[in-house]
Amino acid sequence: MSRPGLVESDSADIFEPPPDGEVEAAPRKRRRWRRVLLITLLVLALLGGGAVVAGGLYLRSVESGVDRVDAFDQVPEEARPAKVAQDAQNFLILGSDSRDPESSSGSRTDTIIVAHLPKDRSSAQLISIPRDTWVHVPRSKDGKHGDRDAKINASFAWGGIPLMVQSVEKFTNVRIDHVVVIDFAGFKEIVDALGGVTIDVEQSFTSTHSLNPDGKRQFTKGRQVMDGAATLDYARERYAFKDGDFARIRHQQQVIKAILDTAASGGLLASPTRLNSFVRASADAVAVDKTLSLIDMATDLRHLRSGNLTFLTSPSKGTGRVGSESVVFADPGKAKTLFDAVRRDAIAEILDAGK
């Protein structure tokens, strides 16, 4: 199994608390900023699809200000897979064109990621599911949609977040513990708050769904700094590539790495104004399920390094057509092996075997 790559960073020391019994010499204000950056980087590591949520100047006020969604209320308990590894956590991360959970009609999820946090919290694995993956979508709560095979992202348009949770759980047989929804509209503000990110463009191409007035943007092969609008265009584009959504997934993973590397570079810590802008933009771009505690999660993951993130893509047999639709066909055997490892909190075995 191929491994698209690890996010690497030289900022590991940021995550380390002072040794027991040792008093940190930095002033109280500096310690507060370090805690803010800690929350920022930890959640950055978890929230893929080209966007993030961060901590705030005061963690509890940010916690209370983040939008909450009913992710599980309409999911029948009897239809859900059992929780196998009790201490591991599985997040469903969705990149949506609309973050309003009450306005799911016509909304799409261009980014679908299952993020696995092992029991020891020493690493995280982010598994992208192509949006056109052909799956069986359960019946929606209103009974008007689903109960048939379709592209997995149709779930969101037909039944919002709960139906997407059901579809992902049915496809992977992995119990989802928490849900995070990223609003693409706020993504550009996050990147701009960072002062841009550096991306190595693999090939020259033209985006035909750009934020530019004419709907087009030229990208030239090579390493370059992108602002928020350019980065969003880069992460969204798929029609310019022969491998379509697979190219977009690679680019989204590039963007996650670039955001992590930029945030970890120390520039935010040195500029309270930039950090505040980044935190506010991040918090505005995210909604989470009602049970997710960002503070508890940050505390739980205080030893996580960005270099311990692994990006994967759900195994497939390639693309094809079902009727008039262009779809991605999953590889049932390989997908089962991967997601069974996630269920058992044994994904390290799969990764080690692929080395």
> Domain extents for the chain?
5-353
> Which residue spans within 14-156 are E strands per DSSP?
67-69, 89-96, 109-117, 124-128, 134-137, 148-151
In degrees, rounded to 5, the angle at the alpha carbon of residue 251 between the alpha carbons of residues 250 and 255 is 120
By three-state DSSP, how is residue 77 classified? helix
Q: What is the pLDDT of residues 147-205, one digit of tens each?
A: 999 999 999 989 999 999 999 999 999 999 999 888 766 678 888 888 899 999 999 99
CA separation for the pair 282, 44 (Å, rounded): 10
Q: What is the pLDDT of residues 77-108, one digit of tens each?
A: 999 999 999 999 999 999 865 433 434 444 56
Over 70: is that where the pLDDT of 4 sits?
no
Q: What is the pLDDT of residues 206-226, one digit of tens each?
A: 998 898 999 999 999 999 999
* Higher per-residue pLDDT: 65 or 353: 353
% of the chain residues with pLDDT over 90:
43
Could you write out the DSSP letters of every residue in 159-198?
A: HHHHHHHHHHHHHH-----EEEEEEGGGHHHHHHHTT-EE
List Cβ neighbours of 301 (8 Å cut-off, separation of 6 or more).
42, 45, 46, 117, 121
Q: Record the tokens describing residue 23, joined without a space.
A: 């008093």
Q: Are 115 and 42 in contact (CB under 8 A)?
A: no
Residue 13 has a pLDDT of: 29
CA separation for the pair 132, 235 (Å, rounded): 16
Over 60: is that where the pLDDT of 63 sits?
yes
Q: Record the tokens describing residue 14, joined without a space.
A: 């940021």
Q: What is the pLDDT of residues 235-263, one digit of tens each?
A: 889 889 999 889 998 998 888 778 777 77
CA separation for the pair 119, 296 (Å, rounded): 15
Q: Are 105 and 157 in contact (CB under 8 A)?
A: yes
CATH number given to 5-353:
3.40.630.190
* Higher per-residue pLDDT: 48 or 302: 302
Look at residues 92, 125, 126, 131 and name the one whose alpha carbon lies nearest to residue 111.
131
Q: Are 233 and 197 in contact (CB under 8 A)?
A: no
DSSP letter (8 states) at residue 80: S
Over 80: is that where the pLDDT of 264 sits?
no
Could you report how far apart the first and last alpha carbons of the chain are, in Å? 9
Residue 107 has a pLDDT of: 59
Q: Where does the pLDDT of residue 312 fall: very low under 50, low under 70, confident under 90, or very high at 90 and above?
A: very high
Interhelix angle 154-172/332-343, rounded to 10 degrees, is 70
Q: Where does the pLDDT of residue 269 fall: very low under 50, low under 70, confident under 90, or very high at 90 and above?
A: low
DSSP letter (8 states) at residue 82: P
Over 70: is that where the pLDDT of 304 sits?
no
- Beta bridge partners, 125, equal 116, 310
Over 90: is that where the pLDDT of 317 sits?
yes
Q: Where does the pLDDT of residue 139 fall: very low under 50, low under 70, confident under 90, or very high at 90 and above?
A: very high
CA separation for the pair 167, 139 (Å, rounded): 10
| Helix ranges (DSSP H) in 173-286 | 187-193, 228-236, 244-263, 267-270, 272-284
Q: Are 82 and 340 in contact (CB under 8 A)?
A: no
Residue 110 has a pLDDT of: 80
Residue 19 has a pLDDT of: 35
